[in-house]
Structure 1
């Protein structure tokens, strides 16, 4: 049986495609559906089903557009209540795709409708499981997302459901089955998933902490909930879009693909509440940018930081990109539900500069320059995650993770110089652009971040757990 994994690294997302005897099915597609249609056309196959493992939080699925363009039927697992026409399958129900079969295994826990799809080949041999966010390689789905949509679904309740789903539905399956999860390392839907994106179920039973055979329910819940970070703020909004429905991506793109001259761009920015979003690399942004724009580069965890730093999913956006990157930026915004791009700067920042428009800059220093000037009185603000900061840090640095910067502005002085850094320079430039937008001037960020600082003679410390006094 051939299962094609279609992996999108910037979202750490895996969709799946199967085809047999002229019929095809797609599992958990992304918002832009043409690649799936092209894949089926290559096989001269008709997409019969779009299987959804659950209502996704970290991206807007392409199931509705795929149904509209191909006539495929959308399938959810038991208890799902979509706001549009779809099949809500029963536990154990079997769907035929050519000579293949897809069996529904209801596995609540990540969400209540979460479902695993058991793939059965043309010889009636069980081949693998498409697990969605129920089971990852090295991890399982976090159980604390649904309560942001349905308050009664506490993380403890869902963790308990997941414990029994894994033990009653997944672990009894054969060891040679291939596990096909929805995400790999880098996704916020788990806490410690592997860089590997497939594995055998037997190996996961041996190595995945959540599948230990001797684990009690109480131990499982405790281990699962320990170390969970706050989920990105846009997650509940994406869930609701996936439940209720959304505007066709074609319509979203038609409105977004409006080229604006520097004059038109400036007039539109002044006449609307649009946010100017510059998606260039940090090093180029630092040298010159449109005043009050913020920088979230495409060459990084773009979608995640868009969702973290732009709180209003309905925010109007004006784009500044490199040449020929406009469409990519628009699609990647829409993947996470930001459907209100109203235009882009034609010719990019070079056109703005050539038109003699106002330009701002932000200061950067090399790690060596930072080392040369560092003293114990230097205020260093580290915008990495707490776990990164705890692992190793500059002595006396202050940790303000990027996703919490707006709630910690009172700790960032306007009357005293300071230095920002992250791990590699991407997040610190996001922070720099936000602080510049808010009127901060007397600061710089470290090019190359802590990765470069660690190679210098700046005093650093490893985190040491405090000794418990008995």
Structure 2
């Protein structure tokens, strides 16, 4: 939040330089992914200046918005990685997948190509699945999964999905603990009239 001029002399490696007074106006730059981690920093902690920005950015739906304790000065004291020059003023966000997560493009490729060594497991409720399912997928609600593991093949990679990714990750954990090769889709899925709408925000 110190701005490009101050950042030119030194900034935290990978940081984007936007002046404090411009952050809210740059809302359009922020990641579509509302689960992205956003860390704001000034020269020091600067709670009076940054706290209102954190509050505003949080109203946009972001779940993880923080202020760097000690700011840039504190970062320097802890020998954090810095760089001079090469100042970025535009946000380029590349999310890091969670362990076991399959990205949307690969998931859609599996849906369309139906490889014989993979199984898509729909862990939504029976009521949700009755409204439409991915062609070729198997439905076992996540609440029933632990007691129905014997119904699943051990020679295939099992990819779980739900509606938001939460139950899919729970299903993934159950499968991994059961000795299965598995991944999960941590993204939004809607199936309307048996048409799949995937990976939207």
Which TM-score bucket, shorter chain as reference? Answer: 0.3 to 0.5
Rg larger for: 1
Higher relative contact order (CA 8 A, sep 6+): 2
